């Protein structure tokens, strides 16, 4: 008998016929914002959980895996990133990780939904850990799609920490958005993207590859298993005009990691280099 039956349950609606459910041990916040349905609750296994439009965005217990990989892989591969752009990322944890790099002089966060930032400040204070108020931070409430197509600003690294391609996040997977990112990168800069769980969302991976390849000299993916992005390996898109950045020797990554002084819980240089090894079904889907 299921011990949790008397407790309300939140079931993710991302996949048809399969999903994950969480007990809502304590509902903290629920509202339809101007852009999406936002819910925040406590769950005994994963800690605080945020979902948007029925899809899990982040939890306090496993967020470090995703955010360390989204920030440290491109920044340490680049080696001298000063200006970093985050599209989405309203919970503030990508921003937190980016600002841990002493080379970064300015981090710009372009988030469409001010409510996500406000509620993350309130209910996920350790996600941002002061990053929203860091003097190196610039926050813009805007659509990332419009921003990358219009801005005159240029960035060494762009991190697209978006929702899935449903609702306001859909445009962040379009050819026009990727072209805007390419336009905003300094020569040899890197774009990384939240690209879904490859076993479950292989079409999303294939579509992004098809759309990125005409724009960038080197397009690939790297991965990490994040428990609450259920279904296996979370795929992160990688696009740059400098192919060497994806093939750095382990010793180079180790030297940069040591120099950065970072303390991490998931990322390390061996994980960094190994993360670019893709399962054969992904290699074949991309060929």
d(CA 149, CA 181): 8
Give the SS3 label for residue 85: strand
Exactly one of 98, 116, 185, 248 binds ligand SAM (CB under 6 A); which one? 116
Segment contacting ligand SAM by CB under 6 A, of 12-20, 121-129, 143-151, 201-209: 143-151
Site for ligand SAM in 183-202 (CB under 6 A): 194
d(CA 26, CA 8): 9
Query: Is residue 223 a contact residue for ligand SAM (CB under 6 A)?
Result: no
Nearer to ligand SAM, 103 or 264 (CB): 264
What angle do the packed helices 202-212 and 175-184 form, to 10 degrees?
50
- 161 in active site: yes
Q: How many residues does the chain have?
A: 287
Bridge pairing between strands 83-88 and 155-161: parallel
d(CA 191, CA 238): 6
x/- mask, ligand SAM, residues 53-92, rule CB under 6 A, reads ----xx-------x--------------------xxxxx-
Which of 161, 164, 210, 241 is an active site residue?
161
Query: Is residue 145 a contact residue for ligand SAM (CB under 6 A)?
Result: yes
Angstrom CA distances, 265 to 72, 86, 151, stand at 12, 21, 35
Phi and psi for 89 in degrees, rounded to 5?
Answer: 65, 30
d(CA 239, CA 182): 9
Query: Is residue 172 a contact residue for ligand SAM (CB under 6 A)?
Result: yes
Nearer to ligand SAM, 64 or 216 (CB): 64
d(CA 163, CA 237): 14
Exactly one of 64, 96, 119, 144 binds ligand SAM (CB under 6 A); which one? 144
d(CA 64, CA 92): 12
Nearer to ligand SAM, 40 or 212 (CB): 40
Question: Contacts with ligand SAM: how many residues (CB under 6 A)?
Answer: 25
Judged by the rule CB under 6 A, the positions of this chain that interact with ligand SAM are 52, 57-58, 66, 87-91, 110-113, 116, 143-145, 161-163, 168-169, 171-172, 194
Q: Which residues are catalytic?
A: 161
């Amino acid at each position: 008998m299921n011990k949790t039956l008397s407790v309300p349950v939140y079931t993710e609606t991302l996949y048809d016929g399969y999903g994950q459910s969480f007990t809502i041990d304590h509902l903290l916040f629920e509202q339809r914002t101007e852009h999406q349905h936002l819910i925040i609750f406590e769950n005994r296994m994963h800690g605080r959980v945020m979902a948007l439009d029925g899809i899990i965005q982040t939890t306090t217990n496993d967020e470090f895996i995703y955010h360390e990989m989204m920030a440290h892989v491109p920044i340490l591969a680049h080696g001298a990133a000063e200006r970093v752009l985050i599209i989405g990322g309203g919970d503030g944890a990508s921003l937190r990780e980016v600002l841990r790099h002493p080379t970064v002089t300015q981090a710009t966060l372009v988030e469409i939904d001010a409510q996500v930032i406000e509620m993350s400040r309130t209910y996920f204070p350790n996600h941002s850990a002061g990053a929203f108020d860091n003097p190196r931070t610039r926050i813009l409430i805007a659509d990332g799609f419009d921003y990358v197509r219009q801005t005159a600003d240029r960035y060494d690294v762009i991190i697209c920490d978006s929702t899935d391609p449903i609702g306001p996040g859909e445009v962040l997977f379009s050819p026009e958005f990727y072209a805007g990112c390419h336009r905003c990168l300094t020569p040899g800069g890197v774009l990384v993207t939240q690209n879904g769980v490859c076993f479950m969302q292989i079409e999303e991976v294939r579509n992004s590859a098809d759309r990125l390849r005409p724009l960038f000299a080197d397009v690939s993916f790297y991965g990490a298993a994040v428990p609450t992005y259920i279904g296996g390996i979370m795929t992160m898109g990688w696009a740059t005009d400098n192919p060497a950045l994806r093939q750095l020797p382990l010793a180079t990554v180790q030297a940069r990691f040591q120099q950065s002084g970072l303390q991490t819980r998931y990322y390390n240089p061996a994980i960094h280099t190994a993360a670019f090894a893709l399962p054969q079904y992904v290699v074949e889907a991309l060929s």
